[in-house]
Amino acid sequence: MITIDNLAFSYGTKAVLKNISMTLQEGRIYGLLGENGVGKTTLLTLLCGLKKPLSGRILTDGMLPYDRQPALLQGQYYLPDDVSPQGVTAETFARQNGRFWPRFDLRKFLAVQQEFETPADKKMDTLSAGQLKKTYISFALATNARYLFMDEPTNGLDIPSKSQFRSAITKYTAEDSTIVISTHQVRDLENIIDPIIILDNQEVLLNASMEDIAARLYFEYGEDLHPDALYCEPLPGGFIQVCPNPDGAESRVHIEALFNAVHRNKELVKSLFKNA
């Protein structure tokens, strides 16, 4: 389990995160959403110990990530947005680097590569950008790390590859894993992320499960506009609208509409989810 307590971080005099507190549970795939520059990547690098908090703390299984203890490092993996080509084959890269993670499974790496339709016997510096990204995703999943942090993993992937990514995440992650995926392409991950975390201007606007979101907000696809709608967007044949849900009516969460509704009604949404 990861506990974040009053976390703050700044780049010089520019505050990026302030008084961030939350708990990340095992067995969840968290979607970390937010506009560019609000601190999504910074939070991921703090979680994996590449940066030190200005104040507050992060505890992962009782350990401080910035202490870089081997017992913690071997149980986590961070996949950055930008990945570097290597002058060896993908399989050789996996064999050489997988030994740093005790639960690494080469057969899983090769299986995910096959599902991604990405060759494991070609040098990584000859692969396309999309193939290279998929190779690193395959390696990340094959580490079997309990804590997996992924920064914009679908950047650079074509439409079929994004579908393969969703399939691989649901198929090849362990039940006890905690996965945090940062993205601004919410449609790529709409069916796999739960809970949802939305960052904005140094703070957390929302941290709630899909069940809690559906219990407090109603998502309607229809032709008539509601006067109490927090957000509405025209679609072919009507609108997608987000409204308060005082009666607990059932609906399917539309993450992109949720994101826009939260940003347009920050204080109201925070009050709705205060005890979520």
Q: Per-domain residue ranges for the chain?
A: 2-206, 209-272
Q: Which residues in 69-211 belong to E strands, given as ranges?
A: 76-79, 147-151, 178-182, 196-200, 203-208
Using alpha carbons, select from 2, 151, 147, 175 the residue that is nearest to residue 75: 147
Architecture of the CATH domain 2-206 = 3-Layer(aba) Sandwich (3.40)
Q: By CB neighbour count within 10 A (0-12 exposed, 13-18 middle, 19+ buried), where does 58 fall?
A: buried
Cα distances (Å, whole numbers) of residue 164 to 117, 159, 171, 172: 9, 9, 10, 12
Instruction: List the alpha helices (DSSP H) in 99-158.
Output: 106-115, 129-142
- The pLDDT tens digits along the chain (276 residues) read 999 999 999 998 888 999 899 999 999 999 999 888 889 999 999 999 999 999 999 999 999 999 999 999 999 999 999 999 999 999 999 999 999 999 999 999 999 999 999 999 999 999 999 999 999 999 999 999 999 999 999 998 999 999 999 999 999 998 889 999 998 888 888 889 999 999 987 789 999 999 999 999 999 988 777 888 999 988 887 889 999 998 889 999 999 999 999 999 998 888 888 766
Q: Report yes or no: 183 and 147 within 8 Å, Cβ to Cβ.
A: no
Other residues' Cβ atoms within 10 Å of the Cβ of residue 226: 15
| Tens of pLDDT, residues 47-100 | 999 999 999 999 999 999 999 999 999 999 999 999 999 999 999 999 999 999
Sign of the torsion formed by the C-alpha atoms of 217, 231, 156 and 204: negative
Q: How far from the centroid of its chain's Cα atoms is residue 226's Cα?
A: 32
- pTM summary value: 0.92
C-alpha dist (Å) from residue 113 to 78, 94, 136, 250? 19, 11, 10, 39
